[in-house]
Structure 1
Amino acid sequence: MNSSSPGSGVTIVGSANIDIVYGVERIPGPGETLLASSAARYPGGKGLNQTVAAARAGAPTTFIGAVGHDEFGEELLATLTDDQIDTSLLRRSTRATGQAFIMVDANAENAIVVSPGANADVTALTDSDRACLQSTGVLLMQLEIPLDTVREAAAVAHAARATVMLNAAPAHALPAQLLADLDVLIVNEHEACLIGASDDLATASATLAALVPRVIVTLGAAGCALYEDGAEVGRVAAPRVAAVDTTGAGDTFCGAFAAAISDGAAYGDAAEFATHAAALSVQALGAVPSIPVRAAIEEARA
């Protein structure tokens, strides 16, 4: 784990989408058509969600991503600006702004299909991007943008002694050099098993924990498991709440955790802070609208 980082704040390199959310009784099977009970449009994308979560949790936050020159792009730019996020490194693409089509069932579970659009243009870091990564305290990334960009950003930030975090979603194999540049890997149960190459969660988690200094496995309503130096070091229980929409819970956790670490919180305390943030987020519809502010998180922890 990098220590004594000279940087400050949180920088997110990642995706930005418009989410089209359909409420359904259950997730349809192959070849099946269902009528939705509701439809709504929200700002989204894992990168943007985590950026908003970090900002609302109190961290000075910068977003490096891309949106199109279209109505959706303007909407996402306004969302970032409203939360006082630094958008000076946001790319404007000739491609359409990314879109995600989300079904949320009666049990608050979801299924998601993403059309990346402009997110495919988050490539080849600029000199300004590199300067930002060399001065940040925490870098947080996901896998909805080109992997080469994730690898490059991790290497730049790691060399500058920032704390480098990756939320490995959507899950796929991770290059050895990327793993070597990470300080924190955050995955859910499904992602842990895919990347850790085992159907047994404990085995998969142990495999990942041997590769990255700190690994967090989020467990939904059960909270999260914390690994450090190759071993499980604790668990954080989630508060019991009535879930309405779990779509943004993982992203809220990641952004809030990054903000807490950037503020100097200890590992376990940051995870507990993030768990309460995620629990608040599942109680409202929409990934971005449901993300809580710091005061609400602190009140929930009291």
Structure 2
Amino acid sequence: MAGDLSLPSEAKALVYDFTVLRKNQGLKQIRVTEDRAGNLLGSRAVRDYMDRHGVGDPAAAAVQVVIDAVRRLSVESDQIVADGVLGLGLFQAEYIDQHVDPRVIQALQTADLGDRRDSLRRHWHGLHEAVGAGAPETPGDRYLRDTIEPRIFRDLAMLIADSSEDHSQAGPITTAPRSLSEAARTSASGRVVVVGGVAMDHVFHSDAVPLPETSVMAGDYIRSPGGKGLSQAVAAARLGLDVVLIAACADDQDGERILQHLETEKVDTSRLKILGNETTPQTAVIEFPDAESAAVVWHNESAVSLTTQDVHKHRDVLAECDAVLLTFEIPQDVLSSTLNLVSGLGPEPPVTVVTPGQPYDYGPPSGQAFAHIDYLVAHSWELRRLSYYTPGKQASQHLGESFLRLGVKSVCVLGSRGGTIYSQNAPPRSITPPPSMLKESSITRDLFCAALVARLVEDHSLTDDAVRWATAAMASFTEDYANARTFPDRNRVDQMLRAFPGGTWH
């Protein structure tokens, strides 16, 4: 870069770091390490930021220093380019407000560098319009890569190297989507721990599943962070709960993307087990036009999974929470051990909510494990595979009652149109859906579990209103799914309830 000859040595070093950090998923906190960003981490600006704001993590401070520098670029178009090339997500709220395609927004934050550049160029005028900036002529790929980006990196480097004054905001800048209710974010009504799995989902939209030795065309493809543990954690966080996720994840590019997604959604990732030189679990999902789906799951359980010791060392956070959400993505011995641990946490242990997802292939957990479950949420076919009593021959009512005899406090049997809850010492109650589109699926069930926990924490019991609210959460997600693959916040769920006079669904 010929233009770098006139830069001070510190600025030159920072330009080098930006050139490295723009690769892969961009400038994410997990990627700000000594080997990638040693000059940035050791800069005076980062040290000053840590001192001013009491930030103990140099990587976190470094990200905020760069964000502040991008905000101070004098040309708005340069801010948009820096945001996209570095994958910062600074304009996510503006893009959402102006109805930019959610897939474009996601690509600008989480896709690889080449795809981010491509999205930036293809949607150049729309992105500028969304933030109220004048749009110069759309640059070619080479001009963007070899001229615009180096110039912006030099400007950023000079801003950071010259930041002897306190240009930064009073605290870290949040990039959380504006679409989430601020009240929901700041008035968390309880603390939840999710013990489950994370994966990278590859979702294909198709009309059919291919037969052996044949193929079908996919109408669309989306690659995004997934896994039942991740889904439940994000859903609960969006409903205003303080969420901690205990899961195993690899340190590859998919793992970095998953971690960034969780942090953006305000999920506490400090208890994640990060495994080096391994591959993050993967899921291939085929979604059909009627919202049904089929999946092939690779957990990579031999290399990336939790152990009983992993969970027990987090006894402190489990003891302090109000509820624990568990899934069968974790090994069976870990599930049983966690349930046993939680049940022994004092006279009023956390509420436990368990959903199978896919039942274990080598038989159900022990009867003792079921005795520690407060709420078991499942399809009837899953319960049949789990049942100790003549599997495959029971109606839903008999299935529910059989698990009550095993000690489960309540069994929630979900179907395509509502469901039924069977509880100890109480008559069955219907899960009646609102007169709105509702398609029960794996992801809507994850949301039901999160919403149920949100109300259980508040109401301290299973009320009819809590059940209606959790079902409304599923309905609102299904209704919005075509336009936004995001979980609802409390305002959206309440809106679904208010849409029907008196809150009655008959």
Q: TM-score, normalised by structure 1?
A: 0.89
Is the alpha carbon distance of 1:99 and 1:52 closer, same or farther for their aligned partners in structure 2, counting shifts above 3 Å? Answer: same
2:326/2:355 contact within 8 Å kept: yes
SS at match of 1:19: strand
1:20/1:100 contact within 8 Å kept: yes
Structure 1 residue aligned with 2:392: 198
Structure 1: 4+ residue segments shifted above 6 A: none
Structure 1 residue aligned with 2:461: 266
1:142/1:166 contact within 8 Å kept: yes
1:23 counterpart (188, 205, 209): 205
Q: Does 1:179 align with 2:367?
A: no
Q: State the one-letter code of the partner of 2:497.
A: R
Q: State the one-letter code of the partner of 1:234.
A: R
2:494 counterpart (294, 298, 301): 298
Structure 1 residue aligned with 2:265: 83
1:65-144 matched pairs, under 5 angstroms: 65-94=247-276, 95-117=278-300, 120-126=304-310, 128-144=313-329
SS at match of 1:269: helix
By how many angstroms is 1:193 displaced?
2.3
By how many angstroms is 1:241 displaced?
3.6
Q: Does 1:223 align with 2:422?
A: no
Q: Does 1:38 align with 2:220?
A: yes
Q: State the one-letter code of the partner of 2:358.
A: P
By how many angstroms is 1:179 displaced?
0.6
Q: State the one-letter code of the partner of 1:168.
A: P
Q: State the one-letter code of the partner of 1:299.
A: Q
By how many angstroms is 1:240 displaced?
3.9
Q: Does 1:159 align with 2:348?
A: no
Structure 2 residue aligned with 1:58: 240
Q: State the one-letter code of the partner of 2:266.
A: Q
1:203-214 matched pairs, under 5 angstroms: 203-211=398-406, 212-214=408-410
Structure 2 residue aligned with 1:282: 478
Cα deviation, 1:161-209, whole Å, max 9, x if unaligned, reads: 1111111221241211211111111111221222232343332222123
19-28 or 288-297, larger mean C-alpha shift? 288-297
Is the alpha carbon distance of 1:230 and 1:189 closer, same or farther for their aligned partners in structure 2, counting shifts above 3 Å? Answer: farther
Structure 1 residue aligned with 2:331: 146
1:186/1:215 contact within 8 Å kept: yes
Structure 1 residue aligned with 2:123: none
CA distance in 1, matches of 2:369, 2:440: 32
CA distance in 2, matches of 1:264, 1:245: 25
Is the alpha carbon distance of 1:201 and 1:244 closer, same or farther for their aligned partners in structure 2, counting shifts above 3 Å? Answer: closer
Report which structure shows greater RCO (CA 8 Å, sep ≥6).
Answer: 1
SS at match of 2:193: strand
242-251 or 69-78, larger mean C-alpha shift? 242-251
1:47/1:141 contact within 8 Å kept: yes
50-59 or 190-199, larger mean C-alpha shift? 190-199
1:245/1:285 contact within 8 Å kept: no
Q: Radius of gyration: which is bigger? A: 2
Higher strand share: 1
1:210/1:230 contact within 8 Å kept: no
CA distance in 2, matches of 1:54, 1:266: 18
SS at match of 1:103: strand
187-196 or 209-218, larger mean C-alpha shift? 187-196
Q: TM-score, normalised by structure 2?
A: 0.55
Q: State the one-letter code of the partner of 2:424.
A: D
Q: Does 1:47 align with 2:229?
A: yes
1:12/1:50 contact within 8 Å kept: yes
CA distance in 2, matches of 1:245, 1:186: 12
CA distance in 2, matches of 1:12, 1:114: 20
1:50/1:254 contact within 8 Å kept: yes
Is the alpha carbon distance of 1:232 and 1:105 closer, same or farther for their aligned partners in structure 2, counting shifts above 3 Å? Answer: farther
Higher helix share: 2
Q: Does 1:169 align with 2:357?
A: yes
1:59/1:263 contact within 8 Å kept: no
Cα deviation, 1:126-180, whole Å, max 9, x if unaligned, reads: 4541111112110110001111111111111111111111112212412112111
CA distance in 1, matches of 2:480, 2:251: 30
CA distance in 2, matches of 1:205, 1:188: 11
1:140/1:165 contact within 8 Å kept: yes
Structure 1 residue aligned with 2:18: none
SS at match of 1:283: helix
By how many angstroms is 1:75 displaced?
1.1
By how many angstroms is 1:301 displaced?
1.2
1:225/1:236 contact within 8 Å kept: yes
By how many angstroms is 1:83 displaced?
1.6
